[in-house]
Structure 1
Amino acid sequence: MKNIVSKRFSGLFAPLLAVACLSSAPVQAQNDAAADNASKQRPPNIVLLLSDDQAWTDYGFMGHAEIRTPNLDQLAKEGATFRRGYVPTALCRPSLATLLTGHYASTHGVTGNDPSPKYANPNSEKYSQQRAQLISYLDRFDTLPELLAERGYLSHQSGKLWEGSYQNAGFTHGMTKGFPNPGGRHGDVGLKIGRDGVQPVKEFVEMAVAEDKPFFLWYAPFLPHTPHNPPERILAKYRNDNTPESVAKYYAMCEWFDETCGDVLKLIDDSGQRDNTLVVSLTDNGWIQDPTSSKYALRSKQSPNEGGIRTPIIYRWPNSIRPADRPELATSLDIVPTMLAAAGARIPADLPGLNLIPNLSSGDAIDRKQIFGESFAHDIADIEDPEASMLFRWVIEDNWKLLLTYDGEVNRYASTHPRTERGPQLFDLSKDPTEQRNLASQHPDVVTRLANDIQSWYPVKTRKTITIAP
């Protein structure tokens, strides 16, 4: 077992768990009961379908008028679908590290994609040492595949992975060689999955089934991520005089991702494992396509706005999870404890997310009042101090959403998430889902209460909120 060391100061997890409506004794009893029940039967296979850079609106089942996603539409019908799902950090590397560890970025320490080139030349030994140090932060946690291995699982990594090789992340099988191997930044060979078919996944599934072993699939293809170069057979469906070429290409990439998810799900069905497989689907962070270029628009990727952090989250497990359109708030922090509970695996006591299996199987409402998140710069100013790059913290309670802005260092990519509004931003998501009207001045009592809740969740020590114009 790895030695788990939090980046935050002693005592953080107590208020965090209290605010999230978790109580250690009931949670432990629930975990023990789930583990005892699951230990008496063969654990389910687990499949993670992870989209890369896709808006929460950009699926057929979410109501998009043009994008075709028939495979995920069907999955949403067959599973428990949280349309109000969120990731706590709207950037791929910290978001993926959360799915590996079950922790917030400010806890696991991987707050951005790269160390800042401002303080070390990317070709220097110092920069390489910083990259290695970031990857080493994973050693402080028992990762999801490691915990599943304790239950006899084989696991396969394909697609995006930043934290070194697949072995370093705890997978028994995989594709990514990782840093310090050449090209080992965010997936290397693994990025071929989906775009070049799913043969490595097929071979792994066949092997695991032949060995009668439960398996875990990390399917995180480089889709619909740029480069937006979809097959012409798909792009032709979206080309028309009213749609900019960059938008048509992005739409086609979303369908391409869905098509490859269908290929993976068919592998599960063809292997006879459908009924004993938990499938979880989400995206790592949002994306709003710029109609004038191949880039993303403001208020999407890297942003704490809905276009950056919101994602539908689907759980499908035939005969074990009730298909339903779930109205509650959900977060990707729930995925690790939920998967571990389904497997009857050990669940670390300090995870901030919820084990949703009891609620998903019974249909009972989730007892949670709020969810929280945080935003950091793409480039990490100080790899030993997450607050040095802190830009935003946020909370959602029912339909209220509060954003607090901080003076962390932005470095590159400042134009992609400008801190244009300097004070607190309060939105009513039921009436204003695109966050156009800041209601902070009209509801100062709500701002004060929710800001105090944010501070109780994660007591910031060094950064200041931005409240006045520069």
Structure 2
Amino acid sequence: MKINFIFLPNKIQLSLLLIGISLHCFTQTKPNVIVIYTDDQGAIDLGCYGASDIYSPNIDKLAKQGTRFTQAYVAAPVCAPSRAALLTGKYPQNAGVNGNTSHVPNSHGMPNDQYTLAELFKDNGYKTGHIGKWHLGMSAETSPNAQGFDYSFGHLRGCIDNYSHYFFWAGPNVHDLYENGKEVFYDGEYFPDLASDKALKYVEDHKEIPFFMYYAINMPHYPYQPTDKWRNYYKDVEKPRGDYAAFISTIDERIGFLMDKLETLGIRDNTIIVYQSDNGHSTETRAFNGGGNPGPYRGAKSSLFEGGIRLPTILSWTNNLPQNVVNNEFFMNIDWLPTLATLCGFNNLPKDVDGLDLSEMIKTPNSVSQRTEAFWKYGNQWAVRNNNWKLMGYPKDTSNKGKLDLEQDALFLSNLDDDISEIKNLATQYPEKVEALKTKFLAWEHGFETDIPKKTKPLNHLGINGEIKATTELDNRYKNIEILIDGKRGYLDYGSGQWIGQEGNDLEFILDLNETKTILEVAIGYLHNPSNWVFSPKFFEVAFSNDGVNFSKTMQSEISKTINNKHNFTDTLSMSTNEKTRYIKLTIKNIGDIPEGHIGVGNLCWFFIDEIIIK
């Protein structure tokens, strides 16, 4: 016969047992934090944001378990500066990342002296992990492990093929998968699954100690490579929408894996979840010109219209923060750092952040946001929002929802309360608002008078009635060379249609004046836009001819003194002469590689010219 003995503790033993259980249960009083950052996800591309053609039950459930924001913004419309803003609580310009960082091995990204979310959590006793995309530096000193993360797994460049883990978008093709700074190989294994498995393991390994995990999901950024399960689910949806939607559902499924793990481990109620996209959906060629949906908004990735910067954003902390809330207040990704710090009870918030602590607004639904204004600057585009009014300089509509007039729409005013579509420019209707918002932009530390569009003044010079041809190969995107002698200077925007550009190489043209004329000066107008890897030409050379065949010895212009200038502007290079001639051969010299001190060092420079001025 089997006898079962029952242990009956005495009062002292029972008290000690209860104390032990209590200590185990309450050892971790700090909440865990997981920030999920998706890549190129459109403004409404979730079921909970109104997308009827996308299946996203896990993220929709997350929204019901917390707050879904309808006016949450990121500080830049492309990947790297948006991520820098998230991790530092600063405008990208103050975080040292104005544009996308270089893919060149050992090139620097976000400066190492920036204080990140990871370092903040680490200084408060947390373990910190990064999983997924980085895109903030290729050098050891700007790697995740050097920016506060105890653990890191993922790719360092902007995107990879999800099976080979190669970066294909600049030669030579290069493998890009690292774990704690060491290259690792998982040939043929699906990267979203690799990242998901690493995330689940990280949570499991740290279930008994507070952790901060930055889960930078690399989807739905191109290449569109959803799983067969979800590709089949959307097989009747026209591409590229079908593959893009399948990628969103691939994300959602892996979010479900993560939520299930937190529930299984019993730490869901002690974990703050942030979900946000880094910028709007891509309309680039590699994304098949679209797939995502900006909904009622205008703009997409690379645009400062709402569709490029106003994105799906969710915050959930079950049984600690309000649930099933739709928050219509103004919020920005730079606000996460101070807001999360307060929610976690930190008292060592850095003093130089641009973000605002909006934790009280989140705790108290229907309260008013402290954020009333924000600034954006990306390349030549800029924007300022104050309450419901928004002014943009040199706007770009990458969603192609409407036409923009180069001159009439160079300053674009919107009232977001009345028209979130931003289709109609209100600048001429409300000139006083334009001036007020321009004043605010210029008062911002990164707003300059040179950023403000100016009316173009027609030039009158000897080349206007001439004929021009290129004798070197032109970039396919910039072949309308007649603009070089149309008497107009271009805006501070290489993509405005007023410029001819070349990457790495020189350009040569022959200008026929149609009759012999006395030439006293030759000049070229150029664009200097280092934030977009556009630099002034090094110099230009000129030769003269009366028959168009036999040219004189070349003469060289002044050498540019503005190559290392960090600001964006337009200027001219010139050369004095005294020649009677009909034909002028001009060779514009590219400086070649991007110079030292620039984030894109090692890549080829672009130059752009807008007018050949003959006097």
TM-score calculated relative to the size of structure 1: 0.76
Percent identity at matched positions? Answer: 28
Is the CA contact 1:228–1:294 (under 8 Å) kept in the aligned structure 2?
A: no
Q: Distance in 2 between matches of 1:176 and 1:394?
A: 33
Equivalent AA in structure 2 for residue 349 of structure 1: K
Shift of 1:296: 3.9
2-structure distance, mates of 1:64, 1:374: 27
Q: Write out per-residue CA displacement over residues 278-334 of structure 1, whole angstroms, 9 at most, x where no aligned residue.
A: 111110000155799623499311110112111122111122211221110111011
For 1:85, what is the secondary structure of its paired residue?
A: strand
User: 2:43·2:307 contact (CA, 8 Å) conserved in 1?
Assistant: yes
In the other structure, the counterpart of 2:429 is 442
Closer, same or farther: CA 41–198 of 1 in aligned 2, 3 Å: closer
Q: Provide the residue aligned with 2:357 in structure 1.
A: 355
**Change in CA separation of 1:403 and 1:308 when aligned onto 2, cut-off 3 Å:** same
Aligned equivalents of 2:332, 2:175: Cα separation in 1: 23
Work out the CA distance in 1 between the residues paired with 2:444 and 2:355.
13
Query: Once structures 1 and 2 are overlaid, which stretch shifts more, 454-463 or 213-222?
Result: 454-463
Pairwise CA distance, 1:267: 1.5
- Shifted more, 427-436 versus 74-83: the winner is 427-436
Distance 2:253 2:242 in 1: 16
Query: Which of 33, 56, 61 is 2:43 aligned to?
Result: 56
- RMSD between superposed Cα atoms in Å: 3.4
Cα offsets for 1:121-168 (capped at 9, x unmatched): x8xxxx767x22x34x1x222211111011111111111112343211
| Separation (CA, whole Å) in 2 of partners of 1:99 and 1:292 | 26
Aligned partner of residue 327 in structure 1, secondary structure = strand
The residue that corresponds to 2:122 in the other structure is 149
For 1:286 and 1:366, locate their aligned partners in 2 and report how far apart those are by CA, in whole Å: 26
After TM superposition, give the deviation of residue 428 of structure 1 in Å.
2.5
Residues 174-193 of structure 1 mapped to structure 2, 5 A cutoff: 174-176=152-154, 178=156, 188-189=177-178, 193=191
- The corresponding residue for 2:238 is 244
The CA deviation string for residues 411-469 of structure 1, in whole angstroms up to 9 with x for no partner, is xx9x9xx9854421012233432321111111111111122122223353473322335
Contact 1:313 1:330 in 2 (8 A): no
Residue of structure 1 equivalent to 2:303: 303
Task: Measure the CA separation in 1 of the matches of 2:307 and 2:155.
Answer: 32
Deviation at 1:170, TM superposition (A): 0.9
Q: What corresponds to 1:269 in structure 2?
A: 263
- Corresponding residue for residue 249 of structure 2: 255
Q: Tell me the SS of whatever aligns to 2:206.
A: helix
The one of 153, 158, 167 aligned to 2:145:
167
CA contact (8 A) 1:48 1:279 kept: yes
* Aligned equivalents of 1:51, 1:394: Cα separation in 2: 24
Offset from partner CA, 1:381-439 (integer Å, 9 cap, x none)? xxxxxxxxx312212334322112399xxxxx9x9xx9854421012233432321111
Distance between the aligned counterparts of 1:261 and 1:421, measured in 2?
A: 43
Task: Give the aligned partner of residue 461 of structure 2.
Answer: none
* SS of match in other structure, 2:392: strand
The CA deviation at 1:188 is: 3.1
455 and 311 in structure 1: CA distance in 2 versus 1, 3 angstrom threshold: same
Higher RCO structure (Cα 8 Å, ≥6 apart):
1
- Maintained 8 Å contact 1:85/1:330: yes
Change (3 A) 1:448 1:155: same
- Shift in alpha-carbon separation, 1:186–1:56, aligned structure 2, 3 A: farther
Contact 2:221 2:282 in 1 (8 A): no
* Contact map agreement 1:288 1:307 (CA 8 A) in 2: no
Which SS does the other structure have where 1:322 is aligned?
A: coil
Query: CA 1:172 to 1:361, structure 2 compared with 1: closer, same or farther past 3 Å?
Result: same
Point out where structure 1 has 5 or more consecutive residues left out of the alignment. Answer: 1-39, 116-121, 377-389, 408-412
Indicate the residue corresponding to 2:338 in structure 1.
337
Map of 2:587 onto structure 1: none
Match of 2:204 in 1: 206
Greater per-residue helix proportion: 1
Aligned positions, number: 394
**Whole-Å separation in 1 of the counterparts to 2:356 and 2:280:** 23
1:91 aligns with 2:75: no
Which runs of structure 2 are paired with 1:100-119 in the superposition (5 Å)?
100-114=87-101
